[in-house]
A and B are shown apart, each in its own frame.
Chain A
Amino acid sequence: MHELSIAQEIIRIVTDQQKQHQFKSVEIIKIKAGGLSGIDPHALEFAFSVVAEGTCAENAQLDIKSEKIKSTCRKCRHAAENPNIFSTCPQCHSLDVALEASPSFEIVALEVE
């Protein structure tokens, strides 16, 4: 649901950049999503299409690369890529697992005209 706030923040960042770099339009917005960003890309695309209307990012495409959640078991030291947030060790099933995943959601680059 908060994808709308995220989309508004993206537009704020992009229009700030436009003032700085004086480009006409944004074609692609490249985004890196941490494993724990909690942002649904489809909901974001919908929200973005609404808030981007009439801005320089009106026709921009969101290129979202999602990072995997990595985990290391503190008991057996097994390292794994977890399909989701639940941090059970796939090898020894221990719950004592250190998660390596970021809640970040970052614009890494803009392709502009």
Chain B
Amino acid sequence: MTEIKLKKSVHHRNQIQADLNRKIFQEAHLLTLNVLGSPGSGKTSLIEHTVRHLASQFKILVVEGDIETERDADRIRALGVDAIQFQTHGACHLDAMMVAQSLENTNLANLDLLIIENVGNLVCPANYDLGENLRIVVGSTTEGADKPLKYPEIFLNTAACVINKIDLLPYVNFNLDEFEAGARQTNQNLKFFPTSCTSNEGINQWCQFLTDQTKKN
């Protein structure tokens, strides 16, 4: 038996493409978000509200990652904003190659903000850098306040956490402080944005945060 020494990361191919994506986004002066969260936490609703608020200020493109269907991209297009649907046909996360493939025929130079909605999942997308500037986690009051303790890794390299559906706080057994404390156990610097896509509460603060971030680019 012969030993071949290697030192090859299984994320190597993804990392090379992610770094290349990041370079391309930087050259286009583009703010790129990777939006993560459970199925049903309100990722698409939040993106709808975000583009409604910011479309007059910024040229936005949304990439929707789903296992199947064009439904999410159609929701964004209905608002007059460009959207690309990427169907993973089974894969539980987007990777950097999929993002590059989705953007193959897009001229990024005219854009200010690229929002990538990942496949709804609190586990697998955590391990895949897409080349984004900011990783955003969308949680919600209906999921339970213990989610950050159960799925800690998703919060590790995350810049901001939106806690959605706060209009339901009177009806669900959800403790906002407990959620935030749990998420801070893995990431001390996490910023929190409690929002409701029904009552619009918190949406202005969230959009202001994004506006401030685009200025840094």
Contact = CB atoms under 8 A, between A and B. Distances in A.
B153 A9 contact: no
B55 interface: no
Contact of B6 (A23, A27, A38, A108): A108
A104 B158 CA distance: 18
Contact of B9 (A17, A36, A96, A106): A106
Q: How large is the interface on B (under 10, 10 to 19, 20 to 34, 35 or more residues)?
A: 20 to 34
B123 A38 contact: yes
A51 interface: no
Contacts of A106: 7-10
A95 B188 contact: yes
B132 to A, nearest CB: 16
Interface in A96-113: 96, 103-113
B8 A107 contact: yes
A10 B10 contact: yes
Interface of B: 1-11, 13, 91-93, 95, 121, 123-124, 126-128, 149, 152-153, 156, 184-186, 188
Nearest to B2: A112
Contact of A113 (B1, B5, B10, B95): B1
A87 interface: yes
A109 B7 CA distance: 7
Interface of A: 1-2, 5-6, 9-10, 12-13, 17, 21, 23, 27, 36-39, 84-88, 95-96, 103-113
A13 B185 contact: no
Contact of B5 (A1, A12, A88, A109): A109
Contacts of A105: 9-11
Of B6, B95, B126, most buried by chain A (CB within 10 Å of CB) is B6
Contact of B124 (A1, A23, A113): A1
Nearest to A34: B9
B9 A2 contact: no
Given A2-B127, A85-B153, A95-B184, A13 B121 contact: no
A36 B93 CA distance: 18
A17 to B, nearest CB: 6
